[in-house]
Amino acid sequence: MRGNLQAFFKTIIVQMKLSIARPMFQFVIWVSPFFYATITYFVYGGQSPERIFQYVVLGSGFMGLWTSIVYSSATDINRERYYGTLENIFVAPVSFAYIIMGKIVGNTIWGFISMLLSFIYLRFVFNLEYPIVEPLLIGLALLIVVIAISVFAFVMALVFTLSKQAEVLMNFIEYPIFLICGFLFPIAILPTCLQPLSAILPPTWAINLLRVVTNDASTTAQILQAFLILLATTLIYVGISVVVYMAVDRKARMDGKLGVY
């Protein structure tokens, strides 16, 4: 266990260095947040301050966070396969799960930096007013959001491990998640057939939690409900990740084609 934890924290550091060294990832972190923030501001510019904060500030911030996480779930797996190191990582003495989670957490940290840049940009360029929130409450909410999003990304990374088209899948799911999970507008306006899909995805409840804890009108019961729903969803995906990891491990060892590009 100690070796796995050491590898986990080392992987976070190495992943952050490797990710930010790539020009495309630099664009994702340093440039794209300003595009997302500007576009959403012009969409909601005439709305109330509360609505602007929920769908411009939090929405555009989450878009940058999600893009960063998708890269760690898909392209990093494909990159290891392309370099011929995926099989070595998979059979190393350190658990493959800790390595993948280290990669995801490393890119998630960059994603939150991207989110922070979006907040600063909107505050000083468009002079938006932000609500005053309880530091301990928002800190706890952010911690749970990080865990929930990381677990969801871990499940995706496991699925991408067996796919030779990981980057195609990444491009396919990136923007639909923006829409289905309600980053840009209320889920209620989605077609009825898509709303159940939205309800089973952790990003939906992650951004909902942040919206609830930053809304002055939210009651204690609403805040507690938002916390519990996200925690329950996260625990379900933890269970799913265990099952998927065992299935991926068994299939990879039986087929022996993990490194085939």
Residue by residue, DSSP assigns 33-55 as HHHHHHHHHHHHTTS-HHHHIII
How far is Cα 73 from Cα 120, in angstroms, rounded to an integer?
27
CB atoms within 10 A of CB 17: 10
SS3 of 192-213: CCCHHHHHCCHHHHHHHHHHHH
pTM of the model: 0.89
Q: Percentage of the chain surpassing pLDDT 70? A: 94
- How many Cα atoms sit within 13 Å of 109 on the Cβ side? 15
Of 19-33, 36-50, 155-169, the range with the lowest mean pLDDT is 155-169
pLDDT bucket at 253, cuts 50 / 70 / 90: confident
CA 229 to chain centre: 17
Domain ranges (residues) in the chain = 2-255
Q: Which amino acid is at 72?
A: S
pLDDT at residue 209, as a whole number:
95
Tokens of 61: 């911030």
**42-56: pLDDT as tens digits:** 988 788 888 899 999
